[in-house]
Amino acid sequence: MKEYLLGNVAIAKGLLEAGAGVVAGYPGTPSSEIIESLASLKGDLPIHVEWSVNEKVALEVAIGASWTGARAVATMKHVGLNVAADPFMTLAYLGVGGGIVVIIADDPFCHSSQNEQDTRRYAQFAAVPCLDPVDPGVAKEMVTYGFELSEKLNVPVMLRPTTRVSHARSDVETGHTAEIRRGSGFVKNPARRVSLPVHVRPLHVELLEKQKKIEEALALTPWNSLRLSGVHGVIASGISSLYAEEALIEMDLDLSFLKVGTFPAPSDMIRLIVEHASKVMIVEELEPVLEEQVERVARKYNPDLEILGKGSGHIPRFGELDQLYVRNAIASMEGQPARSGPILGEALKILPSRPPGLCPGCSHRATYYAMRKAFGRDAVFPSDIGCYTMAVPMGTVDTCLCMGASITLASGIRFGGEEKGICCSLGDSTFLHGGMTGLLNAAYNKARITVTILDNSTTAMTGHQPHPGTGFTATGKWSEPVSLEAIARALGAESVETVNPYDIDSAVDAFKRARDYPGLSVVIAKQACVITARRNGQKPQAFRVNDKCEGCRICVEFGCPAIEFEGEKARINNLCAGCGVCAWICPSSAIEVMK
């Protein structure tokens, strides 16, 4: 049956068609919809699907499952693999039981990420095969193949969609759900399951010896194809190969073309095009992984080959490519004119910018307002990964490095010699992901900082996934939620307070007490995400501006999109979520509940 599917949903269907038994992941754009859609698609099938506490946990759960014989998967975004790198690197030595496919979604251009690292480098580093899909349909097919290859060669396989595959849609041929491959039990085998030096030394040799088999197997897949034609050629991988293919057809160019969908790339095919051509252009996003391989082959078989790509400056090593860019790069190799879209030039200067921002009524805005009131603008405000990075204009987000780093950076800033107030902030999901160890460290090593947990009881930024503080699991089953307050105390924090940020007076007082506490203090600002509150049927109270408004703009400066300025007066528009914070802020009592 043909269906119109999002790339990540196609991958979830691939997991069903491959009989995956255990699937674990941590939300992160552009990977999140894989587990979300699998959790609803699986119905009563005996697949264990979980949102894990972080990516390292997810991969380790998948590895354990694989060692019972189950087909297992871990999903995450590219930077998540940094968190999971520890198990990932050694897994390649120890090998699998049931097949393991590690799905890592890359984000060239950082659409929704803190960097644009190229995960193909990780696959090279760990010496494991990497599948680089061109579109949703191929991504789906690659899942089943990934498990088969993993089991055949006893090695984990990486599937690496990018944003433009995960969040692309296309007509995809879907098939039947396979028998779910659960495990039959853990088999003791210390030489392959215990990474003692004496065990891993030979396993490393074995992994290196496996490389030739990996490349031979990958070369046989349908995702690598070669057409020898003109003496100029294009070698392209992943989604870039689709751009190149379209450009060649559109320009009606008779060039040789090698399309690559796997890494390592097929050396024999590279050799054929390299021997055939006098000039080739290598088209790939981010790192020159393919280009370096072509250079190695060319050194041996055609040292005179002219290689255009990142080295020559034709293809950038940053950002994402698109069809026009690739078309123009190929056109320049062929001496044809570049094409451009319409130039709107000056006309664009009148456009107001529209960056993403905190939602109307978002409690983070209220928390930061209270935090700033108590600590003053000069205090240092390390922050973290989540919706709250959009509060940079409020002046309470001074740093954002990686998941959980707010607390540890705050500690380091204090130990480094900063004397001013330090109040860091991170969300509930981020705290459970990577903040707990930092809090333990800060408490034990006596960092005099305030840690604010922005607890909106969800993983909001990535689309409202549950976590252990929410009381339900990926599949919607009830599980007793953990208490963030109890965790903070158990980790060694002595001063822990929970406040409702909509109650601004109490929140400011709580931040003042935290600021004046002589050691580590924790403030938990607890208020449901406005989006989940609305979905749960919460009806907002309506507010309006009465004639006491003096046009002082204090409410407007608060930065809520629901407050506009019309003439000389403030006005509440229809975006209002009814949090009531602006009514508290107004010095003239001009904002009131509509009766």
Binding segment toward other proteins, per CB under 8 A, in 223-231, 320-328, 418-426, 473-481: 320-328
Residue 425 makes CB contacts below 8 A (sequence gap 6+) with 367, 368, 371, 381, 382, 383, 384, 388, 396, 397, 406, 451, 452, 453, 454
Instruction: Find the binder of other proteins among 561, 569, 585, 592 (CB under 8 A).
Output: 561
CB of 524 vs other proteins, minimal distance in Å: 23
Intra-chain end-to-end CA distance of the chain, in Å: 55
Q: Does 556 bind other proteins (CB under 8 A)?
A: yes
The residue behind tokens 């969040």 is: 167
Instruction: Find the binder of other proteins among 6, 39, 103, 270 (CB under 8 A).
Output: 6
Q: Check if the beta carbon of residue 64 is closer than 8 Å to that of residue 91.
A: no
CB of 357 vs other proteins, minimal distance in Å: 5
Please state whether the peptide bond connecting residue 264 to the residue before it is cis, i.e. omega within 30 degrees of 0.
Answer: yes
Contact letters for other proteins, residues 99-138 (x by CB under 8 A): ------------xx----------------------x---
Binding segment toward other proteins, per CB under 8 A, in 10-18, 145-153, 249-257, 287-295: 249-257
Closest-CA residue to 388 (of 374, 410, 411, 369): 369
The residue behind tokens 């003109």 is: 230
CB of 32 vs other proteins, minimal distance in Å: 8
454 beta partners: 427, 525
The residue behind tokens 């290859």 is: 149
498 beta partners: 524
Instruction: Find the binder of other proteins among 355, 416, 476, 518 (CB under 8 A).
Output: 355
Token reading at 272? 């054929």
Q: Does 76 bind other proteins (CB under 8 A)?
A: no
To 10 degrees, the CA torsion angle through 283, 289, 293, 299?
Answer: 80
Pairing label, strands 591-593, 543-545? antiparallel
Whole-angstrom distance, CA of residue 504 vs CA of residue 75 = 39
In the bound state with other proteins, the residue whose beta carbon lies nearer, of 444 and 565, is 565
* Sheet with 279-283: strands ordered across: 225-227, 256-260, 232-237, 279-283, 306-308
Whole-angstrom distance, CA of residue 168 vs CA of residue 4 = 10
In the bound state with other proteins, the residue whose beta carbon lies nearer, of 196 and 343, is 343
In the bound state with other proteins, the residue whose beta carbon lies nearer, of 4 and 318, is 4
Q: Identify residues 157-176 at the interface with other proteins (CB under 8 A).
A: 164, 167-171
CB of 251 vs other proteins, minimal distance in Å: 9
Q: What is the DSSP letter of 220?
A: T
CB of 367 vs other proteins, minimal distance in Å: 17
Binding segment toward other proteins, per CB under 8 A, in 9-17, 149-157, 459-467, 510-518: 459-467
Report DSSP letters for 554-584, one per residue: HHHHTT-TTEEEETTEEEE-TT-----HHHH
Contact letters for other proteins, residues 29-58 (x by CB under 8 A): xx--x-------------------------
Instruction: Find the binder of other proteins among 246, 275, 334, 550 (CB under 8 A).
Output: 246
Q: Does 324 bind other proteins (CB under 8 A)?
A: yes
Binding segment toward other proteins, per CB under 8 A, in 88-96, 271-279, 353-361, 492-500: 353-361
Neighbours of 18 (CB within 10 A): 25
Binding segment toward other proteins, per CB under 8 A, in 48-56, 343-351, 498-506, 511-519: 343-351
Instruction: Find the binder of other proteins among 152, 204, 339, 535 (CB under 8 A).
Output: 339
Binding segment toward other proteins, per CB under 8 A, in 11-19, 248-256, 495-503, 537-545: 248-256
Closest-CA residue to 48 (of 81, 84, 76, 19): 19
CB of 353 vs other proteins, minimal distance in Å: 6
Residues binding other proteins: number (CB under 8 A): 60
CB of 3 vs other proteins, minimal distance in Å: 7
Token reading at 589? 């009592």
Instruction: Find the binder of other proteins among 43, 351, 480, 536 (CB under 8 A).
Output: 351
Looking at residue 551, its amino acid is: G
CB of 16 vs other proteins, minimal distance in Å: 19
Whole-angstrom distance, CA of residue 466 vs CA of residue 226 = 45
Residues 571-589: b if buried by 16+ CB within 10 A, e if exposed:
ebeeebbbbbbbbbbbeee
Binding segment toward other proteins, per CB under 8 A, in 40-48, 222-230, 351-359, 410-418: 351-359
Token reading at 514? 């935290």
Q: At what angle do helices 136-153 and 197-219 cross, to 10 degrees?
A: 130
What are the two backbone dihedrals, phi and then psi, of residue 202, each rounded to the nearest 5 degrees? -65, -30
Closest-CA residue to 421 (of 511, 488, 505): 511
Instruction: Find the binder of other proteins among 55, 118, 132, 245 (CB under 8 A).
Output: 245
Closest-CA residue to 156 (of 221, 209, 103): 103
Contact letters for other proteins, residues 254-273 (x by CB under 8 A): --------------------
CB of 351 vs other proteins, minimal distance in Å: 6
Contact letters for other proteins, residues 562-591 (x by CB under 8 A): -xxx-------x------------------
In the bound state with other proteins, the residue whose beta carbon lies nearer, of 220 and 343, is 343
> Which residue ranges make up the site for other proteins (CB under 8 A)?
2-4, 6, 29-30, 33, 111-112, 135, 164, 167-171, 239, 242-243, 245-246, 249-250, 252, 322-324, 327, 339-344, 347-348, 350-359, 387, 390, 461-463, 553, 556-557, 559, 561, 563-565, 573
